[in-house]
Structure 1
Amino acid sequence: MTDPRTRQAQAALMSTADETEASFYEALQQGDVDRMMALWADDDEVACVHPGGPRMVGPGAVRAGFEAIFAHGPVHATIEHVRRLETAVCAVHHVTEKIQALTEKGWETAYVMATNVYVRTGHGWRMVAHHASPGLPNDLPDISEPRNMLH
């Protein structure tokens, strides 16, 4: 586990929410749980939901979730279609994650819809929430017009 002072020093380098987000996806691609957790706020209410999984609340639960994922290796994820809502102290990014995995059939691609929430702290921009939902087998453009939806 990383020393809290190291986590704070690493996070202090994140001067924008975009930098924190780029580091989040680099940590996924490297399967580096310590680097991943250095990006999260040190708050009991941080939350993470992986596709099809339960809500994990608190740094310990979030870390355990990423450790379980990284036990299978790094996640080959890149982001597309980033939509941003940002204020001076909070940023919400809606993204499409392009996930690639090597299977018996070769490289396969899936898409995940995710929302990443960041807050500005005394230690730089830190992640407070990551919520990812299963996407579709093919990438689709954003929908801006109302449609009939369940929720």
Structure 2
Amino acid sequence: MYTTVELAEIAFYQAFEDANLEAMMAVWSGAAEISCIHPAGPVLVGVEAIRKSWQQIFAGGSGVTVQVNVLREYASTTQVVHLVEEHLSVTGNASQQGHVLATNVYQLEEGGGWYLVAHHGTPAPHIAPAGKAPTLH
């Protein structure tokens, strides 16, 4: 049980870095309506679909470092939404890096624990060079 949203979020990203499927799934709610969208991936709904996706991601083992920056937090008494930047890098290979914008939704469940109910990641837009307007659509 995660007594704070911050502890749940730390556990989520630590499980990601460690490629630890059981630790990853411990952060997720056991509710049927949980959802996950990995960058450029389909909508996954339910514990089994989400477990299978992380199992595939972790098949190559650990070696990813994730630096997280919370951009915004929206909170009520039973739900917290974090909009975050994820800076991912492959350990020992500076050329393999990624920048993802993600939304993490945590819910307070019976018994007092906070659990992840939705994660949506999308590749971050590239910064346009000085003097060039970014493409919006």
Q: TM-score higher than 0.5 here?
A: yes
Structure 1: 5+ residue runs without aligned partners?
1-11, 139-146
Which residue number corresponds to residue 77 of structure 1?
66
The alignment status of 1:87 with 2:87, answered yes or no, reads no
Secondary structure in 1 aligned to 2:77?
Answer: coil
Q: Identity of paired residues, percent?
A: 33
Cα pair 2:86 2:102 within 8 Å, conserved: yes
SS of the residue 1:72 aligns to: coil
Superposed CA RMSD in Å reads 2.0
Residue 82 (structure 1) shift:
3.2
Q: Which residue of the partner structure matches residue 128 of structure 1?
A: 117
1:26 matches 2:22 = no
Residues 64-97 of structure 1: per-residue CA shift (max 9 Å, x gap):
0000000022232120243111111000000000
- The unaligned stretches of length 5 or more in structure 2 are 128-133
Q: How many residues of Structure 1 are paired with residues of Structure 2 in the alignment? A: 128
Distance in 2 between residues matched to 1:31 and 1:110, nearest whole Å: 17
1:38 aligns with 2:32: no
Residue 107 of structure 1, CA deviation: 1.4
Q: TM-score, normalised by structure 1?
A: 0.78
